[in-house]
Structure 1
């Protein structure tokens, strides 16, 4: 059995794990493996926000963002999602992953991309746009998969997959999978702050993040699942999952959840696919852990998962969690409503 932390990322521990060295997990799980040359990844969430009446032009805008991924500096993996938020707005999010931050920077600064996002036309299209980008170092993210092929998300820009790993199936195991957790408690150093613009007025707004802001992507893929597994997902797993995601979306602020979106993958025309995932931004990994370990909404999700895991073969479950340095984050909003993403919790600059 392997450690979730790859050999080249191991170092002498100053902080202990939650379990002893002889711990045996209750079922097999795996993590993504990357070449030691991978030092940092970029996770870019590029959004289009719209009222239902503007659905057609929102699809065109989403397609434009995807088209910008052409060329040598394109992300190594991307997907597209849709969700309706609690303000009644639809949101397409194009999610791109780069294993080379320099390629991402070249893409971001390319004339076609830079001029399109900066254009005044973005302010007069009856649409909102946002860019939420984090770039964790290799030691600042962890993955977990119940399968070993066709990894989604950040796993698709890593080189391979581990054997069965030890650090899962217990509270605190996500933290133990972070290489940085060997020596760092990953505490936040500040709060979200508006650095330009006014969320109440719309227009362009920039938000400054902070060290160790935490992002979780937790997914379910039932594309190849048979009727029995689909019934398990829709009848057993989805109801408590939906309740928990709605709770975090609507009431998570007091718990340290900045934003929670339960999204469905779509194709290039906006048609729903049989894949879904949660996108959660948190003040810290500690705040996420507290909800996971003690809140009834997550305990129902966790106990349901343990009850049905033995009956799953084609339903694909996974997650990835990252922290990042404040200097490696970008939160930009154009004509978005004031409850979007980091806007809700960002503090205005002092007068």
Structure 2
């Protein structure tokens, strides 16, 4: 059995684990592996927001434009598309791109086709909102976990390989202990969310400065190839509890340290729903995420159900990825988004600091 932390990322541990050295997990799970050349990844959540259903064609056209900018050598190695309706009844289309080379991401971002479009005054007058929420964790700042071994989604798609059975799962605290940095660092948050440009209440362009060790979790479900029994397991047992937990975080996240929570459905370029979904949660810290996961009834029910069925899963694909990142490696930018979008809800104006 392997450690979830790859050999080249292991170091003398100064922070102890939460289980004894002879711990044996209750069922097999796997993590993504990458070549030692991978040093940092970019995870870019690029959104189009609209309130009026009549704007859907324009929003889909904007989504397709963003995807078209991915063509060429500097585009992401992997991307996917999602849709969700937030608690302000706004639709949000997102392109989620993953780069294995931050320099390529910077070249893409600065290209005329991307920068010129984003900076254009046209974005202010289309009746649409736009956002960029981007983090770039180093390889010692993120972890993955999969209940399957092929065609990894998300950041696993840019890592390229899969581990053997890993030890660090099946107990509270294992998420943290799969992050290589946890061997020597508590990954505590540093600072607050601060509005540095614009005013969320006024609309227009707003830039929010993040802080060290914001935690980002993507937790996914794929039932595309699941048979009737596994589809029923997901749709009838897992999904209702999952939706309850995600709605709680969406509506009450401010009280528990969750800056933003979105439960999204995967779509194609025409906006048609696919049999995939995932949750995207930005948290003040890994500690706040852990506390909620270990104590909230909805998550405990999800965790209990997963333990009961995990070993028998065949086609129902469950996974997650969790990262922390340095404040300097985060971007949160918004154009004409409602003031409870993403980081806008909890960001403080400079005068209130």
Fold-level match, TM-score > 0.5?
Answer: yes
CA distance in 1, matches of 2:308, 2:238: 10
Matched, 1:225 2:226: yes
CA distance in 1, matches of 2:214, 2:333: 16
Identify the residue that residue 34 of structure 1 maps to in structure 2: 34
Matched, 1:53 2:71: no
Identify the residue that residue 249 of structure 2 maps to in structure 1: 248
Three-state SS of the structure 1 residue aligned to 2:350 is coil
Instruction: Give the gaps of 5 or more residues in structure 2.
Output: none
How far the C-alpha of 1:56 sits from its partner, in A, is 1.0
Whether the aligned pair in 2 keeps the contact of 1:84 and 1:90 (CA below 8 Å) is yes
CA distance in 1, matches of 2:237, 2:312: 12
Whether the aligned pair in 1 keeps the contact of 2:147 and 2:310 (CA below 8 Å) is no
CA displacement, residues 36-63 of structure 1 (integer Å, 9 cap, x when unaligned)? 1111000000000001221111111111
CA displacement, residues 150-194 of structure 1 (integer Å, 9 cap, x when unaligned)? 000000000300000000000000000000000000000101000
CA distance in 2, matches of 1:201, 1:53: 23
Whether the aligned pair in 1 keeps the contact of 2:28 and 2:311 (CA below 8 Å) is no
Equivalent residues in 2 for 1:85-124 (5 A)?
85-124=86-125
Identify the residue that residue 287 of structure 1 maps to in structure 2: 288
TM-score, normalization: structure 2?
0.99
TM-score, normalization: structure 1?
0.99
Three-state SS of the structure 2 residue aligned to 1:350 is helix
How far the C-alpha of 1:20 sits from its partner, in A, is 1.2
Identify the residue that residue 44 of structure 2 maps to in structure 1: 44
Three-state SS of the structure 1 residue aligned to 2:277 is strand
Whether the aligned pair in 2 keeps the contact of 1:229 and 1:311 (CA below 8 Å) is no
Identify the residue that residue 151 of structure 1 maps to in structure 2: 152
Identify the residue that residue 74 of structure 2 maps to in structure 1: 73
Identify the residue that residue 83 of structure 1 maps to in structure 2: 84
Three-state SS of the structure 2 residue aligned to 1:66 is helix
CA distance in 1, matches of 2:138, 2:185: 14
CA distance in 1, matches of 2:37, 2:309: 38
Whether the aligned pair in 2 keeps the contact of 1:74 and 1:104 (CA below 8 Å) is yes
Larger mean CA deviation between 53-62 and 279-288 belongs to 53-62
RMSD over equivalenced CA pairs, Å: 0.7
Matched, 1:10 2:1: no
